[in-house]
A = this chain, B = another copy of it.
Amino acid sequence: MDITRLHEAGEKIKEMLKKTGYYSEPNTYQPDLSDGKISFSYAYPIKAFEKFLGYYDSENRVAFNPSISMRTDFSFCLAACRYRKDEDKDTIVLDGESDEKYYRKAKFALDKFRHEYSIKGSFDFYIRRYRRYQRAKGLSESSAVAAAVSRALVSTVFGDDAAADDVFVSRYARLVSGSGTRAAHDGISMWLSYPGMDIKDCAAFKVGENQKRIHYGVFPKYSDIPTDSAHRVAMNSIFYDRWVEEKFNNVLRLIPERFDIDDLLKIGESDMLRLNSVLMSEGLVIQTAESIRIIHEILKFKSKNDGLYFTADTGPSIAIFSSDRSIIDEFRENVEDEYLDGTYNFDEYKSKMSEFSREVQDYFMHISTR
């Protein structure tokens, strides 16, 4: 891997983002802590066009390359965070259960966060995911969780102004899950990340409106193939370096064309195939019989029709896109698979807020008196 060249390309990307107004110097905030303070937040998951796997600096969660995605509405996450001055043990409840995996992720992020701001005390998190599907893999629920918990934490520690600063929120979402950076924004956003960068810039920036011209949806598919190791597996591939290099080329092209959505759709498709390739080359086959069948249907349809695009993240759920609604409808006539239409309505979370608040009060009261 030619780290120097990636660093230089990354610096060039940052310069171009500055000139085009997408990048601004990150704001700083001072902690304003109050024992027992509770904050609420929400986040929606993203669908990546320019994807990422593999950390250049896993301690600081710096990815090898920038990545780009758009917000989707296939699920959402609500989170609440409470600060407790005199406790020394954080608590995490996800979907009603203490989850050891999420606890470890949160502990890692919180320890770094506390260290950065010299904060003592602990945080309690109560988190719930609300899905429009029964079960599926690769719909980026973890990005929504990361963004929601980060915003709740930022709100509790720094107050409303900081919590409204998506770039600032994305910086800490990163410590939970890389793709969480982008889930801190609406619309289209890019996580600026590259080897040897200034860590304070390692955050997501908004690079495109929440446009409504593109119709999208997803075929949710389940899989029990473990993908926890995907970052490491990808980096072991002989194809990894070439994959990463090409991403810098794509981003350098996208900035002057102002992240043209049609180009992003093409990149999303091509990068899904490459991501699958990189993992497959190391024996991690993330598609299932079900998803391969629908991919073949899509490829067959595409060979006869223009204007349909597809993508997927590290899982078998396949998303489709078109600027022409009728193309999506026509494709769907060929398949009987469960389909979720994507929308640009991101208000659904509001309907769950009061129920969620009651759960939060119950939970926080319970652990306070334990």
Contact = CB atoms under 8 A, between A and B. Distances in A.
Contact of A242 (B239, B246, B273, B287): B239
Contacts of A246: 238
A225 B297 CA distance: 11
Nearest to A294: B289
A280 B273 contact: yes
A81 to B, nearest CB: 38
Interface string A263-288: 00000001001101110111101011
Given A239-B239, A239-B242, A285 B295 contact: yes
Given A238-B243, A242-B242, A246-B238, A296 B285 contact: yes
A254 interface: no
Say how many copies of this protein the assembly contains: 2
A285 B287 CA distance: 11
Interface residues of A, number: 27
A199 interface: no
A288 B292 contact: yes
Interface of A is mostly: helix
B292 A285 contact: yes
B292 A287 contact: yes
Contacts of A270: 283
Contact of A238 (B238, B274, B276, B285): B274
Contacts of A280: 273, 276-277, 280
Contacts of A277: 239, 276-278, 280-281
Interface string A227-241: 000000000001101
A164 interface: no
B273 A283 contact: yes
A337 interface: no
Contacts of A3: none
Contact of A281 (B225, B273, B288): B273
A203 to B, nearest CB: 28
A299 interface: yes
A252 B22 CA distance: 50
A293 interface: yes
Contacts of A241: 242
Interface of A: 225, 238-239, 241-243, 246, 270, 273-274, 276-278, 280-283, 285, 287-290, 292-293, 295-296, 299
8 contacts: A239-B281, A273-B280, A273-B283, A277-B280, A285-B296, A288-B293, A289-B293, A292-B292
